[in-house]
């Protein structure tokens, strides 16, 4: 039944659609700055401009917005990655810094000895012989304290040229970067300097022009999808906002709701949920301070094991996939302890753990931070209820690892103290 509200909504949608159709077509877009000086395909120019906007110390006015957007993309595509920092002052962004083995990556970003990202950029050229393989694991500045599992690599190129030779590289297209820059320009609004916003928009247009001219990715199907998006924009925004509100609510209250409404059968008083969005569950005695006394604050722990799920990621709910893992986080202060846990999990206790893991389909992970993981699927249409029921199952399976993990935890402390 048609109501005045629905009739008004239809009229607004039709007016919006008409306005989009009335946008004049431009056969040749205005030239960008690099186009004017005939340098639009010069890789070193793209490198310098991208470095400028990634560096929060530069006077573009975006602060860490561009850097955060790029790191967030890497996080969404890289399992177990972490990019934590308190201030942009401790972030170093360099271009074309020579590696010890002679390689020269296009861009290098690092934070105070805790993580780094090496970028190789390709505009028109393809990868040189073994080029990316030379960069894996190398640190082109004097900062050898960065853990090997916190050194990340990105290969940025056209979609038609994707895939670096080195498997350690995450392949990202320039088109994806264009989408990120669009989001940054919208999100930052007027906070950036006028010149900075104009420069970033100009660089974005250069990328768009050069990648679109040589890549026919806007198929008829994509155009039809865009038209549907435009036509139903308000409806889409309404449901997306509803999802964002519910997701924020579950992030903030998961610990309380989990224990009140979905407490697992195997849960006892020795288990704890941290009331944060990090999705952490730990056992009494798993978080200890330097004096080996229990602490509740993760940041005060010198030694610690945790279970973790990812309620904070929207993809958990949209894709119906819950990731659950055993973790010794870099929040924990003792490197020797984390290394000892890794060695015990991978060697002395491997068989004992494997018997339990194989029973539940849990995967062994031989890294310094993550030691076991499993992906659980649920029906996303059922919403938070399906998520919590799946979280119940995950805990009831991983809890079987707890006695052996506690023994590993205790031995690792002794080994770390001996060091």
Which tens digits make up the pLDDT trace of 48-57? 889 999 999 9
Tell me which of 27-36, 151-160, 210-219, 383-392 is least confident: 210-219
Asked if residue 209 and residue 71 are part of one domain, the reply reads yes
pLDDT at 84: 80
| 326, burial (CB in 10 Å: exposed 0-12, middle 13-18, buried 19+) | buried
Using the predicted structure, report yes or no on whether residue 204 has a pLDDT greater than 90: no
State percent of the chain over pLDDT 90.
38
State percent of the chain over pLDDT 70.
77
Is residue 228 assigned to a domain?
A: no
Using the predicted structure, report yes or no on whether residue 38 has a pLDDT greater than 80: no
- The residue with greater pLDDT, 349 or 216, is 349
Is residue 14 assigned to a domain?
A: no
Is residue 279 assigned to a domain?
A: yes
Asked if residue 130 and residue 40 are part of one domain, the reply reads yes
Q: Which of 188, 221, 254 is the last residue of a domain?
A: 221
Is residue 65 assigned to a domain?
A: yes
Asked if residue 125 and residue 258 are part of one domain, the reply reads no
Q: Which of 164, 190, 221 is the last residue of a domain?
A: 221
Using the predicted structure, report yes or no on whether residue 188 has a pLDDT greater than 60: yes
Is residue 37 assigned to a domain?
A: yes
Using the predicted structure, report yes or no on whether residue 386 has a pLDDT greater than 90: yes
Tally of structural domains, the chain: 2
- The residue with greater pLDDT, 101 or 414, is 414
Residues 176-203: what's their mean pLDDT? 82
pLDDT at 23: 40
Is residue 21 assigned to a domain?
A: no
Q: Which of 158, 186, 221 is the last residue of a domain?
A: 221
Q: Each residue of 238-270: pLDDT tens digit?
A: 778 888 999 999 999 999 999 999 999 999 999
Q: Each residue of 79-137: pLDDT tens digit?
A: 777 788 777 788 989 888 776 666 778 888 988 778 889 898 887 767 666 667 777 76
Using the predicted structure, report yes or no on whether residue 364 has a pLDDT greater than 50: yes
Asked if residue 286 and residue 178 are part of one domain, the reply reads no
pLDDT at 25: 45
Asked if residue 168 and residue 316 are part of one domain, the reply reads no
pLDDT at 140: 60
Is residue 26 assigned to a domain?
A: no
pTM score, two decimals?
Answer: 0.58
Is residue 308 assigned to a domain?
A: yes
Using the predicted structure, report yes or no on whether residue 322 has a pLDDT greater than 60: yes
Residues 182-205: what's their mean pLDDT? 81
pLDDT at 24: 43
Asked if residue 274 and residue 169 are part of one domain, the reply reads no
Asked if residue 188 and residue 320 are part of one domain, the reply reads no
Asked if residue 258 and residue 206 are part of one domain, the reply reads no
User: Residue 348: which domain range?
Assistant: 238-418
Asked if residue 177 and residue 262 are part of one domain, the reply reads no
Using the predicted structure, report yes or no on whether residue 320 has a pLDDT greater than 90: yes
Asked if residue 245 and residue 181 are part of one domain, the reply reads no
pLDDT at 287: 93
Asked if residue 277 and residue 216 are part of one domain, the reply reads no
Asked if residue 208 and residue 262 are part of one domain, the reply reads no
Using the predicted structure, report yes or no on whether residue 369 has a pLDDT greater than 90: no
pLDDT at 165: 78
Partners of 374 in the β-ladder: 324
């Amino acid at each position: 039944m048609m109501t005045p509200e629905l009739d008004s909504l239809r009229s607004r949608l039709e007016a919006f659609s008409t306005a989009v159709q009335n946008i004049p077509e431009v056969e040749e877009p205005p030239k960008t700055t690099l186009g004017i000086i005939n340098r639009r395909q010069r890789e070193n120019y793209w490198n310098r401009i991208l470095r400028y906007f990634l560096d929060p110390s530069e006077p573009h006015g975006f602060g860490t917005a561009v850097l955060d957007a790029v790191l967030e993309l890497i996080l969404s595509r890289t399992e177990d990655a972490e990019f934590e920092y308190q201030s942009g002052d401790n972030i170093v962004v360099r271009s074309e810094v020579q590696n010890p083995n002679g390689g020269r990556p296009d861009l290098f970003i690092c934070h105070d000895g805790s993580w780094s990202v090496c970028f190789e950029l390709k505009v028109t050229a393809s990868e040189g012989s073994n080029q990316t393989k030379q960069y894996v694991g190398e640190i082109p500045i004097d900062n050898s304290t960065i853990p090997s599992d916190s050194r990340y690599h990105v290969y940025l190129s056209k979609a038609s040229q994707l895939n670096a030779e080195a498997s350690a590289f995450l392949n990202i297209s320039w088109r994806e970067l264009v989408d990120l820059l669009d989001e940054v320009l919208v999100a930052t609004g007027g906070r950036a300097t006028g010149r900075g916003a104009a420069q970033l928009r100009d660089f974005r247009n250069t990328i768009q022009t050069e990648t679109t001219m040589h890549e026919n990715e806007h198929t008829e199907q994509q155009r039809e999808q865009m038209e549907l998006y435009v036509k139903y924009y308000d409806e889409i925004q309404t449901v997306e906002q509803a999802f964002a509100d519910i997701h924020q609510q579950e992030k903030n209250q998961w610990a309380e709701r989990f224990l009140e409404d979905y407490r697992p059968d195997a849960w006892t008083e020795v288990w704890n949920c941290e009331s944060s969005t990090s999705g952490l569950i730990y056992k009494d005695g798993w978080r200890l301070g330097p004096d080996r006394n229990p602490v509740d604050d993760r940041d005060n722990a010198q030694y610690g094991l945790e279970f973790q799920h990812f309620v904070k990621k929207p993809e958990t709910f949209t894709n119906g996939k819950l990731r659950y893992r055993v973790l010794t986080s870099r929040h924990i202060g003792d490197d020797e302890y984390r290394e000892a846990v890794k060695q015990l999990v991978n060697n002395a206790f491997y068989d004992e753990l494997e018997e339990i893991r194989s029973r539940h389909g849990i995967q062994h992970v031989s890294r310094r931070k993550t030691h076991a993981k499993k992906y659980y699927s649920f029906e996303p249409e059922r919403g938070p209820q399906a998520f919590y029921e799946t979280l119940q199952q995950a805990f009831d399976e991983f809890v079987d690892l707890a006695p052996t993990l506690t023994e590993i935890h205790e031995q690792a402390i002794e080994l770390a103290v001996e060091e």
